[in-house]
Structure 1
Amino acid sequence: MYSSSDVDVPAGDTVEGPRESTRDRVLQAVLSHGPVSAARVGELLGLTAAAVRRHLDALSEEGAVEVKLVAGNRGAGRPSRRYVISHEGQSRLGNDYLELASRALGHLAEVAGPDAVRAVARERFAAVEDRYREAIGTTASLKDRATALARVLDAEGFHASVRLVGRPDSATKHPTLKAAQICQGHCPLQELAADYPQFCEEETELFARLLGVDVRRLATLPTGGHVCTTHVPLGRDAEPPGRHGAGPQTISGAGSHTAPDTD
């Protein structure tokens, strides 16, 4: 049972804030898990799908989220609705220092060239590399390390999660894990990276070093994707983290290539 008050909370819970607080939680869930269904958001937040849809409809009218229609696994039936954060929704989480930083980088690029901007981006990620590596560890499986990396990114405000993808084994017909996809629903550097892709490239290099395997960017927020999606292959032995030499391949995309969840 759920309360019928304007704030949708499970029965027995107390209402601690206005209606907007629940809506913010719904928006955060879309950030972290999009493309996501209303039913899945309800599971995450302990709300009914109907209650979640009311908030999603309001967020859609405000322009904070967008609706994507996803065909069923077998192409039959009515397409499912999936929700993703919009550019306007991303901009609501902007940084007060963004304009100042953008101007500073622009001046740096004019005076010292694009390599100087790359040096700034490299230094930015080098500053967190040791801390990330300590949190991820080196002894777990590649899948576990990818999950740990997403957990660290999520704690840093990137609204990160991991989706495991695969295809049926030809002999057993059972799904076989082929890759992990690290999805980042928010990026504090999005506006900067739109003008200076060196930030995305250096972050991708960081992921490759931390995981010890080539990774690929399937989509990025600055290039129009609804999430930043990093493809981590699981079907090969990873090199010891920190000794990875080959740089990852970065692919700019206009949208997310993650496998959608199911209702």
Structure 2
Amino acid sequence: MTADTTKDRVLSLIVTAGPITAATLAHELNVTPAAIRRHLTALEDEGNITDHEPPGVHVRGRGRPARSFIATAEGQQALASAYAEVAVDAMGFLRKHGELEAFVEAKSAQLEAELSSAVPKDAPMEERVQALSDALGKRGYATSVRPGPGGYTVQLCQGHCPVQSIAQSAPEWCEAEARTFSRILDVHVQRLSTLAGGAHVCTTTIPVAAALPVAATTRKEG
């Protein structure tokens, strides 16, 4: 096992179980105390972990409790980035072995099953889109609904995507997500932009009313 991998395991355990002492880390990870101290020093130097001071404990000297550690915001982000790299590698592996499409479709079906129950089937389209937005928001997508031009559409906007790094390496993910929205809402939707494609937000246009006939639009403009 490489040192970097062990250090990631140390950080992961601190994130999930902190505050935690060096002795507990060594026991849980089956690593020598010397190795744990080395990784803790590196993680502290990088700003990924810090000391945890229990409220009301200010003992100094030999009676001082063993140091315990918690992750900083930077440490949590670093761990998320490490997991993202693994996920991206997994997408490449699946693509190489011809399994990516099946995996993406399976995950889309799972997302559809989770979201469908939150979207009322007989409500007006605006309410259904808002319900979909709310359900996505609970899953970390930072969504909002905005009116489209002319009042014939609304735009479902996603300011954050939990799987953005995966979608960047596998655009099929975004395409499958749009099809999922279409099936849930039972209407054709159009994906205008994606975070994975470099935009500042994912934007999906959804029709909520029939457009005026071309002839009527032309008479109005004339």
Same fold judged by TM-score > 0.5? yes
Mapped to 2, the partners of 1:211 and 1:126 lie a distance apart of 14
Larger radius of gyration: 2
TM-score (norm 2): 0.57
Structure 1 residue corresponding to 2:108, chosen from 107, 119, 125: 125
Give the Cα separation in 1 of the matches to 2:80 and 2:207: 32
Partner of 1:211: 185
Match for residue 98 of structure 1 among 78, 81, 84? 84
The percentage of counterpart residues that share the same residue type is 36
In the alignment, residue 99 of structure 1 is paired with which amino acid?
E
**Partner amino acid, structure 2, of 1:219:** S
Partner residue in 1 for 2:139: 156
**Whole-angstrom distance in 2 between the partners of 1:230 and 1:93:** 30
Count of residues in correspondence between the two structures: 135
RMSD of the TM alignment (CA)? Answer: 2.0
Give the TM-score normalised by structure 1: 0.48
The answer to whether the 8 A contact 1:164-1:179 is kept is yes
Distance (Å, rounded) in 1 between the aligned partners of 2:131 and 2:159: 16
The answer for the alignment partner of 1:31 in structure 2 is none
In structure 2, distance between residues paired with 1:125 and 1:217: 16
Structure-2 change in CA distance of 1:216 and 1:178 (3 Å): same
Structure 2: 5+ residue stretches without partners: 1-76, 212-222
After superposition, residues 8-157 of structure 1 pair within 5 angstroms as 94-112=80-98, 116-157=99-140
Provide the C-alpha distance between the structure 1 equivalents of 2:204 and 2:161, rounded to a whole number of angstroms.
14
- Structure 2 distance, partners of 1:236, 1:212, is 15
SS in 2 for 1:136: coil
| SS of equivalent residue, structure 1 residue 157 | coil
Equivalent pair of 1:94/1:188 in contact (CA under 8 Å) = no
> Using the alignment, how far apart are the partners of 2:129 and 2:85 within structure 1?
33
- Cα 1:95/1:122, change in 2 over 3 Å: farther
Q: Distance in 2 between matches of 1:108 and 1:130?
A: 23
Which residue does 1:225 correspond to in 2? 199
CA–CA distance in 1 between the matches of 2:102 and 2:169? 15
- In 1, the alpha carbon distance for the partners of 2:132 and 2:100 equals 25
Structure 2 counterpart of 1:183: 157
The letter of the residue matching 2:83 is Y
Stretches of structure 1 lacking an aligned partner (at least 5 in a row): 1-90, 168-176, 238-263
Cα contact 1:95–1:188 (8 A) shared by 2: no
Superimposed CA distance per residue, residues 164-202 of structure 1 (whole angstroms, 9 cap, x where no aligned partner): 1233xxxxxxxxx21110000001111111111010000
SS of the counterpart of 1:214? coil
- Give yes or no for contact 2:148–2:205 (8 Å, CA) kept in 1: no
From 191, 196, 202, the equivalent of 2:170 is 196
Hey, which bits of structure 1, 4+ residues long, moved more than 6 A? Answer: none
Would the alpha carbon gap of residues 93 and 126 (structure 1) be closer, same or farther in structure 2, given more than 3 Å must change? farther
